[in-house]
Amino acid sequence: MNDRELSATKETIENGLAVMGIEMGSTRVKVVLIGTDNVPLASGVHCWESTLEDGVWTYPLGEVWAGIQSSFADLQKNVEGKYGVLLKVVKALGFSGMMHGYMVFDAEGNQLESFRTWRNNITGQASEELTGLFDYPIPQRWSIAHLYQAILNKEEHVGHIAHMTTLAGYVHWKLTGQQVLGIGEASGMFPIDIQTQDYNIALADAFDADIRNEGFGWKLTEILPQVLGAGEQAGELTEEGALLLDPAGNLEARIPLCPPEGDAGTGMVATNSVEVRTGNVSAGTSVFAMLVLEKELSKAHPEIDLVTTPDGKLVGMAHSNNCTSDYAAWINLFGQVAEALGAEVSSSDLYDKLLPLALKGDPDCGGLLAYGYISGEHITGFSEGRPLFARSSDSNFTLANFMRCHIFTALCALRTGLNVLMEEEGVEVDEIRGHGGFFKTPVVGERIMAAATNTPVSTLATAGEGGAWGIALLAKYMTRADRAETLPQFLGKVFEGSMSEAVQPDPDDVAGFNEFFDRYHKGLAIQQAAVETLA
């Protein structure tokens, strides 16, 4: 950046023309500041991990605020270091978070139960019964499934619920006083009526009728957040909210906020995948594919979520709870081996050296097999997970095949769901756009994803910025001068000429993945035995 560009950027920040987005993901809280050209100017990060408490994956509220404040302080530090200015005000702000889950509060705003995240697979009975009641797929991760399971479990807190929301909705509420959600995030709480762009009232009435004899003092729509579409304003940062975000007191209040969204919606925005026949894959701790549908599916499929884009189009979503966590653990182990041998190798070097070996392995991974089930996997019917690696005595046990096996297996549950959309329902997609940590190592992620989906895969230079950049773009869209401009039109300008050339599926890779995929499903009995045997 030359002196002229530096001066212009400083002026943008000082005049409050930059826009900020914060996303609370599974392993990090990230904040991104973008300029008038939508390019990231600076970022801040706070790393965290979910906690398993009494069999429930959760994040305590204290950690939520510590993470947000830490990431914002990191952003301020980076802005001062790069541009020599103190960040005090922005043009707009948006919050995103991991979708689904269960956060409930009483009339005084007290949390009634610990936050139950998307990672939990403890609502199988509720998911099955609600899918039957609604004739509409209700995944275990959805907020309504958690609520219904709590009712089935006779949990005492249910009668005291005044407000139910998601992580992004909770943070937005505390910063603005507004109990609202973007439509994409809301569609992970309860089914959306595409025609009305609001909760499906017929299904809400069916739910109320089903639990009428329980005697709760609320109806479902009374405890759900209000639904807002992309481009609408969702309140302003209050004085109290500004101090929650920045305890140092430098950040000004009255900044407008866009509707809070989930990481699925921000992933669609961050990859310009909001039009029909487009699709994106967000791959990191978990992995999910979002295909924007031309029409409704023929029937309810338990493997598929039906959600929406941030501007309200119907999306078929295949979601796997597990992706990169297990092979990241193996790479960490290899780092310990290097350290024991007296070598100093950074984490990034380990990834850059080990992951590309997967492209040199046998197409089918040489007969190796692995399951990266850190937690349960609903698509294949597991409420608990046990990471494991297996091979036969005549397998080709090489490092290249070992790495290829673990990257392949990270996508097998996803492929199981995609088969429902592409093969059973005939959904067509021209190209899949990828983002997330899975794609950080050049070429490897795109080529393996293309093999797993048999579809061209492209990425963006900004793919590593992920959902924080996506929610910043939604905040920027809210400030557009032309109110008639649609979200696809806005994103078309943002992404013009920025997509990489799509990586085409390699026939040998596709054939090899299909062979591995068959082995994966035949071997699920091994995973079941591990769950039953290893406490």
- 126: domain CATH number is 3.30.420.40
* Within a domain: 104: yes
Task: Over range 389-416, report the average pLDDT.
Answer: 97
* Within a domain: 323: yes
Does residue 320 contact residue 286 with C-beta atoms inside 8 Å?
yes
User: Is the domain of 111 the same as that of 174?
Assistant: no
The Cβ of residue 190 has, within 10 Å, a number of other Cβ atoms equal to 24
Segment 494-512, tens digit of pLDDT: 988 776 789 999 999 999 9
User: Is the domain of 287 the same as that of 415?
Assistant: yes
User: Is the domain of 285 the same as that of 424?
Assistant: yes
* Within a domain: 184: no
* Within a domain: 185: no
Task: Over range 488-497, report the average pLDDT.
Answer: 89
Segment 456-482, tens digit of pLDDT: 998 876 555 678 999 999 999 999 999
State the DSSP code for 397. Answer: -
State the DSSP code for 481. Answer: S
Reading the block at residue 372, the tokens are: 């990266």
* pLDDT score for 146: 97
Reading the block at residue 210, the tokens are: 């089903």
User: Is the domain of 288 the same as that of 361?
Assistant: yes
State the DSSP code for 202. Answer: H
User: Is the domain of 262 the same as that of 340?
Assistant: no
* pLDDT score for 461: 63
Decide if pLDDT at 217 tops 60. yes
User: Is the domain of 305 the same as that of 435?
Assistant: yes
User: Is the domain of 137 the same as that of 80?
Assistant: no
Distance CA 40, CA 36 (A): 10
Distance CA 114, CA 447 (A): 40
Does residue 76 contact residue 31 with C-beta atoms inside 8 Å?
no
Reading the block at residue 141, the tokens are: 């991760």
Half-sphere exposure of 518 (CA within 13 A, CB side): 7
Segment 403-457, tens digit of pLDDT: 999 999 999 999 999 999 999 999 988 889 888 789 888 899 999 999 999 999 9
User: Is the domain of 319 the same as that of 449?
Assistant: yes
Reported as a pLDDT band with limits 50, 70 and 90, residue 9 is very high
What is the chain's alpha carbon radius of gyration, rounded to the nearest angstrom?
A: 23
* pLDDT score for 1: 72
Q: What is the dihedral of CA 389, 390, 391, 396, to 10 degrees?
A: -10
Reported as a pLDDT band with limits 50, 70 and 90, residue 99 is confident
How many independent structural domains does the chain possess?
Answer: 3
Out of 136-145, 289-298, 453-462, least confident range: 453-462
Distance CA 449, CA 453 (A): 6
Task: Over range 129-139, report the average pLDDT.
Answer: 93
* Within a domain: 183: no
* Within a domain: 21: yes
Phi, psi for 278 (deg, rounded to 5): -105, 160
User: Is the domain of 316 the same as that of 419?
Assistant: yes
- List the one residue out of 207, 165, 162 whose CA is nearest residue 185: 165
User: Is the domain of 409 the same as that of 324?
Assistant: yes
Segment 345-369, tens digit of pLDDT: 999 999 999 999 999 999 999 999 9
CB-based contacts of 232, cutoff 8 Å, min separation 6? 258, 259, 478
* pLDDT score for 165: 98
* pLDDT score for 285: 87
Question: Residue 480 in 3-state DSSP?
Answer: coil
Does residue 323 contact residue 372 with C-beta atoms inside 8 Å?
yes
* Within a domain: 414: yes
User: Is the domain of 30 the same as that of 151?
Assistant: no
Query: Residue 476: which domain range?
Result: 1-99+170-178+226-271+461-499
CB burial class (10 A; 0-12, 13-18, 19+) of residue 333? exposed
User: Is the domain of 412 the same as that of 423?
Assistant: yes
Decide if pLDDT at 147 tops 60. yes
For 102-145, give the DSSP string.
BEEE-TT--B-S--B-TT----HHHHHHHHHHHTS---TTSHHH
Instruction: Tell me, yes or no, if the pTM score tops 0.75.
Output: yes
